Each structure stands twice: as structure tokens, then as C-alpha cells.
Amino acid sequence: MAPKFAPLKDAPERSAASDGGRFALDRALLDALADLALQAARRAGASYADIRLGETLKETAYAKDDRLEQFDERSTRGFGLRVLLDGSWGFYGARRLDAASVAEGVERALENARAVRPIQGRPIALEELPAHEAEWIMPMGVDPFSISTREKADLLLAISAAARDNGADFCTALLCIAREERLFASTFGARIRQTRTRVQPTFTATAIDRAAGRMASRDSLTPARGAGWEYVTGAGLLEEAALAGRQAREKLSARPVVAGDYDLILDPTNLWLTIHETVGHSTELDRVLGWEANFAGTSFVKPAMLGNLRFGSELMTIVADRSQPGALSTIGYDDDGAPASSAEFKIVEKGVFKNFQMALGQAHYIGLPGSNGCAYADSPTSFPIQRMPNISLAPNPDTCKLDDLASGVENGIYVVGAGSWSIDQQRDNFQFGGQLFYEIKNGEIGDMLRDVAYQSRTIPFWNSLDGLGDASTYHLDGTFTCGKAEPVQVAPVSHGAPLARFRNVRVLNTSGGV
């Protein structure tokens, strides 16, 4: 029997909700459906059951050049019931919210648990989580769903026009808005209601040199956030689009990089993705256990490395949290019902690997007491799996700016924005591009370069970190769409980072020697 989960400090019963904060679904209906499911599962002999009920609202608007090509609203309501019967999971989800569907769901989930029993092998074992009854509403200013369709359409067309008026031949602009409202209930006694909202305004400006048959593009550097409409209006998108148009045009005539080894200064707008792929995914315990071996892969990190792997230099401290304001993984409780406070930990401390990310039912495999709050299901009808909280590189406590980092570089490149990305299935060999590249010569940041991609291996790369920006250089980036699991689930996650300097990294010229 797994040891009990250590009691942890609760998240607040109710966050300081502001305009737009709400839990809009019919509480009485959801409670009744949760009771129906959990009681029926218990009566049928399930040793554990949990259920997620709720709704996801999404709005997607897409413009290309002078044309609004798409404006969609999407609402999906449903439930997903997970039962543990004789050591086997059974799951059933449906996009319906009524008593008959939930009652059928209990039978189907139990049937599925029986169906997999012949191949169960080692029975599923769970630690017990403390029971929380709580409500958490993400604080935000203005509900983005309350903003008129026309205002959103006009914003996208204005972004596109700003880029095209400033040198871009083409511009696509995209606005995605999502809200998740969930009731989570479990036979441990949890009953948690949560609402969170996220926004993603983005664009790509493209410039063409038809005669030379070349093109260059510059993606928006404005990140997705867990926020309301005030974030979209305050992000300076029109100014950024105008700048992006000019930079896309400038990229066409920029000097091609000469392939070789360079010192790199990575802007947080680039580094977040490197953190995500090399640290975020490599320290997921389900990968380490082999549960993702057939798809997302395993990891070069092993349980025996806990506490002793020199992951990076002394400057490297990677923090997990579910509390950064505006971050995409910020929430009161994870999808197993573990509170946000359990997800406040260091993955790497001063270069040494300290913690895996874990969901319910994983920790005992490596002799640890319990989950650290890293579960997420991308819809009520998805099986919850281990997913990242916010994972960020802590800034330098001492003053250090871009010029300070550049001053120590003889021959380097300053990389801004995320581009093409790829990493092996154990999260070791990687290759990343970017949006903007600037030569650094003898301590000075100079001309724009093009056709840059950097390639390295996770441990040597992080051990080459020898300069770190301070908090004033810290920036929170992230994505709506981190993919994992079979069938694929898509999770939102944020990563913060300061400026960072890495020594002797291999750089490719993507138009020549690759």
C-alpha cells in the first residue's frame, strides 16, 4: 500500500475574482451527476473513481491579408469518468451532461476496466490525496468572450494591415480564446469547481523577393497568456505588427550566417521553447516509467539521477509552479484534485536535478509519497495524464542586462523568438531556429543574420550556461498546444526565462551547410 500523501497547505477557497470571473454552469446539475457517478461506481466495487464534468468554450478568428477567413465559436460540454476496479483503470467520456448518459457512463467505464484486466499485469496503485472542497476562479480583467465579434475581426485586420503597410507582402493574424469550466469530484471526497480563461493573439508577417525566389517571415513575439481581453489590448499588437513587417523585409537581405560554433545569447522569447522541450519533457515521470515510450518517447533522465545529475551549470535553477499570474498552467488544483501548493518545487536547483513532475499513481514507482500536482486532461472526455505545470528558469539575483551578457562575447549570435524545433525521443539531441538573429562581435550586438538554427545536446548545452539576465529581463512565454499521449492531448503551458548566454553552441546555416 502506498504511503499517504502528505497534507499540504490548501489553495484559497476562492480566488479574488474580478470582472469576468465566474462559474457559469448549473452547479446543482453537476453535483447531482457527480454524486450519481461516484455512488454507482462505489456500489459496483470500484476502489476509486473520479469524474470531471464541464464545458470548454473556444473562439477562433483568422484573417489573411484583407480578408477575415474564419470566425468560429465552439462549445463542448461533457463528462469523463475514471474508475479503478480490481487494479485496472476503466474510462468513459461523453459530450453530454444528463443523468442517463452518466449512468450509462458508469457501466461502460466498469466494462472497460474488465476488458483490460487480462493484460493488466501490475495492478494500478494510488496514493490517497487529501479531500478538498473548493472553488477557484482565475482572476482577470475583461472577459474576452464579452468583446464583440466586430472588435475582434477589426483587430485582426488592423494587425494584418499594419504589417503589410510596413514591408510585409502577406500577413496572417489569429486570435484564439478558450475558457475551461470544470467540476472535479472523487471518491477521496474532493469537490472542486474551477474556471480559467486564456487568450492567444498571434500573427505572421511574410516578405517575398520574387525575383530571387526567396521569402522571409517573422512571427509575433506576443505570447499566449492566462488572461482576459485587457492583455490583448495592452500587448501593443499593431506596433509589433508594423515592426514585424519591417523586420521580415530586412531578413530578406540579411547576411547568411556562416556555420560554426558560436556563443549564443538566447532571448526568453526563444529560450522558453528550449526549456519546454529539454527540461519540461525530460523530467516527466510518466516518460521515465515508459508510459509514453510508444509515442512521445522516454527520457535520458533516470530515477537514479534524482539529486545527483549535474543537469546544468550553477546558474541553472528551474522552478515549477501553478501560481504565476498570467501563466497558462496556473490553476488552483490539478486534474487529480491535488492543490497548486503541491506543484511549487524546483526541478533543477543550481544545476542539480531535484524533482520529477508526477501525477496521481506514479510516485510510488520511485519510492516517493505522492503526486506533486502535475495532472491535466485536455477535455472532460480525456483521461488525465501527467502534464507540465508552469516551468521557468529563475533569473539572476545579481544585476545583469543584455549589454553585460554581450560584453563577454567575441563571436556570437543573439537569438530572438521561437522558430522551427525538433528533439529526439529521449530529449537529448535538439535543433531550434528562431525569428530574428543578430551578430555579436567583440561584445557588440550588430547586424541582422539569417538562416540560423542551433543544434546541441541537453546536458552539454545547459552546462555551457555561463551568463544569466536579471529579473528585468525575465519574460513569460508559452503555448496553447503541447502535444502528448495517445490519443493526442493538447495542453497549455507557460515558461518564463531571463536572457541567457550559452557557450560554443553549434550553429547551422539552413540555406547552405546543414
For other proteins, the binding residues in 202-231 under the rule CB under 8 A are 206, 208, 210-215
Distance CA 468, CA 351 (A): 13
Q: Please give the single-letter amino acid code of residue 329.
A: S
Question: Closer CB to other proteins, residue 270 or residue 382?
Answer: 382
**Which is nearer to other proteins, 258 or 514 (by Cβ)?**
514
Q: Does 169 bind other proteins (CB under 8 A)?
A: yes
Whether the CB-CB separation of 390 and 330 falls below 8 Å is answered with yes
Q: Which of residues 397-426 bind other proteins (CB under 8 A)?
A: 420-426
Question: Of 44-52, 190-198, 261-269, 482-490, which segment contacts other proteins by CB under 8 A?
Answer: 482-490
**Least Å distance between CB 87 and other proteins?**
9
- Short-list 478, 458, 487, CA closest to 377: 487
Is residue 74 involved in binding other proteins (CB under 8 A)?
yes
Stretch that binds other proteins, among 20-28, 183-191, 317-325, 485-493 (CB under 8 A): 485-493
From 266-274, 387-395, 399-407, 427-435, span contacting other proteins (CB under 8 A): 427-435
CB of 357 to other proteins, least distance (A): 17
Q: What is the footprint of other proteins within residues 305-344 (CB under 8 A)?
A: none
461 binds other proteins (CB under 8 A): no
Site string for other proteins, 91-130 (x = CB under 8 A): xxxxxx-----------xx-xx--xx-xxxxx--------
- Binding marks (x or -) toward other proteins, 359..398, rule CB under 8 A? ----------------------xxx-x-------------
Rounded to a whole number of angstroms, the minimum distance from the CB of residue 4 to other proteins is: 23
253 binds other proteins (CB under 8 A): no
Q: Which three cell numbers stand for residue 274?
A: 528550449
Q: Residue 491 corresponds to which amino acid?
A: A
Please tell me the distance from the alpha carbon of residue 83 to that of residue 63, in angstroms, as a whole number: 44
| CB-nearer residue toward other proteins: 71 or 474 | 71
Q: Does 77 bind other proteins (CB under 8 A)?
A: yes
Residue 78 interacts with other proteins (CB under 8 A): yes or no = yes
Least distance from other proteins to the Cβ atom of residue 113, Å: 8
Q: From CA 73, how far away is CA 248, in angstroms rounded? A: 32
CA angle 77, 79, 84 (to 5 degrees): 170
CA separation (Å) from 52 to 185, 189, 261?
A: 7, 14, 50
72 binds other proteins (CB under 8 A): yes
Question: For strand 411-416 and strand 421-423, is the pairing parallel, antiparallel, or unpaired?
Answer: unpaired
Q: Which of 238, 226, 220 is nearest to 416 (CA)?
A: 220
Length in residues, the chain:
514
481 lines the binding site for other proteins (CB under 8 A): no
Among 1, 150, 304, 397, binds other proteins (CB under 8 A): 150
Q: Which of residues 26-65 bind other proteins (CB under 8 A)?
A: none
Cα 352 to Cα 153, 457, 491, 500: the distances in Å are 48, 17, 27, 18
**Which one of residues 69, 86, 444, 447 is an interface residue with other proteins (CB under 8 A)?**
69
Upstream peptide bond of 487 is cis (omega within 30 degrees of 0): yes
Report how many residues bind other proteins under the rule CB under 8 A. Answer: 88
Burial group, residue 187, by CB count within 10 angstroms (0-12, 13-18, 19+): buried
For the residues of 59-127, what is the DSSP string, one character each?
EEEEEETTEEEEEEEEEEEEEEEEEEETTEEEEEEES--SHHHHHHHHHHHHHHHHHHGGG--SPP--P
118 vs 367, which CB is nearer to other proteins? Answer: 118
3-state secondary structure of 205: strand
Name which position in 88, 187, 194, 390 contacts other proteins (CB under 8 A): 88
CA distance 156 to 238: 9
- Residue 110 CB, shortest distance to other proteins, in Å, is 11
Residues 279-308 that bind other proteins (CB under 8 A): 289-291, 293-295, 297-298, 300
Site for other proteins in 438-457 (CB under 8 A): 451, 453, 455, 457
| 508 near other proteins (CB under 8 A) | yes
**Non-local CB neighbours of 455 within 8 Å, separated by 6+ positions:** 429, 430, 431, 505, 506, 507, 508
Tell me whether residue 98 or residue 444 sits nearer to other proteins (CB atom): 98
Q: How far is the CB of 125 from other proteins (least distance, A)?
A: 12
* Nearest Cα residue to 465 out of 494, 433, 499: 499
DSSP 460: H
